[in-house]
Amino acid sequence: MFENIIGQEPVVSRLSTEIAARILPATLMFHGPDYTGKSSTALELARALTCTGEDRTVPWNCKCRSCEQQRHLLHLDTLMLGGRYFNREIAIAADALKRDQREPLRYLFERTIRKLARRFDPVLWEGEEKRLRKVEPLLSELDERLDPFLPGSHLPSGDQTVDGIDGVVQTCEKIGSAVALDAVPVNTVRRLSAWARLSPSGRAKIAIIENVDRLQDSARNALLKTLEEPPPNVHFVLTTQRLGAVIATIRSRSRSYGFLTRGPEQSGAVISRIFRDSPGSNPSIRDYFVSKDGQGLRALAERYLENVVAGSTIELGLLDEINQTIGNLGGAEGFRYFVEEVSLLMETLLRANETEDVGVPVRILARWRALLGNALTRFESYNTSATMALEGLFYGMRET
């Protein structure tokens, strides 16, 4: 188990020991930056806990039916909720499959798609079918488009392969824009709780809730009630980039597992082994993803921050350009990418302050970081438009 988790040896070793000793907690909190393997580790943990094979090392190629279902992310005793960088991840996997159509890349492509599609599991939406009317035909279309690219399927020939992969990606983009997956409704959490209290079909049930810190108050409270008295043979894996952003009552009912940012060598190993590509000049997986999406967010973030530092009015048309690019990346997902780019540029300025005068005092940078966090909160929690959030952020930073 965990053969494909690279660069997180302390977490993998700890989980393996706890599984073998049968001391794994009911609720696990995976915390650390994006692109560190939290989701992949959670899914591999689910495979290990549901495996019915005789080999308790649970190798990736285990032939048991449960492991087969988990490899395809179709096991009914595993549910996935919450938002993540769906569009970017799917686009990267699609690019990899266009280069190399061998089985490992087909699994990679399928799994990135299933991470999105399984958010619409009927168990989670029972009684709210009206909300899925736009999505249901798209999910059927996705199954049909994806089928030729599944492991073991006969691939289309020539240009049809590339066109077919692009068709899958386009359908995923439509699905992602139809429903706000970050905003997990309280009723969905309640249905998750009801599902958890039913006996598993096999050894265990696993619920993976990504970016749990983004849950609204009502959904958090509903989840907390479930975590207070977790059913037997059920494990909840919660993930977050920032452990401090998770409310204390949820943190206190979970065991924390910290994921570290991978170094250049480890990142290169992930890129070459998982994506079958050369890392090139990209020192991190995040940089690799950014270099591949072709949207130019980093350059836009640089122009945005240059305008702030200059103390003038914002460059004519810049907000429209940023807003269009954010929309191309899936709206909420794209907004977060842009905020991340601005945040990274601020970190660069902060490091530069240690060796030279860059003209932006540390106290100002600290204030900017707070304003950036507030802008993200307004966008995610209060439905503020991207343009309004960024314009308010710009003038707030400029006047600091």
Of the pLDDT bands very low, low, confident and very high (cuts 50, 70, 90), residue 294 is low
Asked which of 227, 244, 274 is the last residue of a domain, the reply is: 274
Q: What is the CATH number of the domain that holds 160?
A: 3.40.50.300
Q: How many CB atoms lie within 10 A of CB 111?
A: 17
Q: Has residue 357 got a pLDDT over 60? A: no
| Residue pair 37/45 in contact by the 8 Å Cβ criterion | no
**Number of domains present in the structure of the chain:** 2
Would you place residue 92 in the very low, low, confident or very high pLDDT band (cuts 50, 70, 90)? very high
Integer Cα distance of 182 and 154 in angstroms: 35
Q: Which residue, among 72, 64, 59, has the nearest Cα to 4 in the 3D structure?
A: 59
Give 180's pLDDT tier (boundaries 50, 70, 90): confident
178 in the same domain as 83: yes
280 falls within a domain: no
**Position 282 in a domain:** no
Same structural domain, 107 and 245: yes
Q: Which of 297, 293, 290, 288 is CA-nearest to residue 386? A: 297
The DSSP code for 84 is -
Does the pLDDT at position 295 exceed 70? no
- pLDDT, position 44: 97
pLDDT band at 289 (very low <50, low <70, confident <90, very high): confident
Share of the chain above pLDDT 90, in %: 55
> What does the alpha-carbon distance between residue 383 and residue 389 come to, in Å, rounded to a whole number?
10
pLDDT at residue 348, as a whole number: 83
pLDDT reading at 186 higher than 60: yes
Six-digit token pair at 130?
A: 């009206």
pLDDT tens digits, 41-81: 999 999 999 999 888 899 999 999 999 999 999 999 999 99
Residues 142 and 90 in one domain: yes
Q: Which domain holds residue 254?
A: 9-274
For residue 97, tell me if it sits in a domain: yes
Mark whether 325 and 196 lie in a shared domain: no
Query: Does residue 287 form part of some domain?
Result: no
321 belongs to a structural domain: yes
1 lies in a domain? Answer: no
Name the pLDDT band for 359 (thresholds 50, 70, 90).
Answer: low
Tell me: do 232 and 311 sit in the same domain. Answer: no
pLDDT at 179 (0 to 100):
77
Condensed to tens digits (0 to 9), the pLDDT of residues 245-254 reads 899 999 999 9
Question: Is the confidence at residue 298, as pLDDT, over 70?
Answer: yes
What pLDDT score does 161 carry? 92
267 and 327 assigned to the same domain: no
* Sheet of strand 205-209, all strands in order from the earlier edge strand to the far edge: 78-81, 205-209, 234-240, 27-31, 255-258
What is the structure's pLDDT at 108?
96
Same domain assignment for residues 228 and 372: no
Handedness of CA 342, 346, 352, 356 (dihedral sign): positive
Q: What is the pLDDT of residue 311?
A: 80
Same domain, 27 and 130: yes
* CA–CA separation, 226 and 195 (whole Å): 11
Instruction: Kindly state whether residues 260 and 315 are assigned to the same domain.
Output: no
281 assigned to some structural domain:
no
* Poorest-pLDDT segment among 117-131, 270-284, 317-331: 317-331
Residue 227 has pLDDT above 80, yes or no: yes
Q: Do 53 and 187 share a domain, yes or no? A: yes
Residue 355 has pLDDT above 60, yes or no: no
Which of 274, 303, 318 terminates a domain? The answer is 274
Q: Which range has highest mean pLDDT (83-87, 235-239, 373-377)?
A: 235-239
Boundary-marking domain end, from 274, 305, 332: 274
- Write down the pLDDT at residue 292: 75
Q: Would 119 be classed as within a structural domain?
A: yes
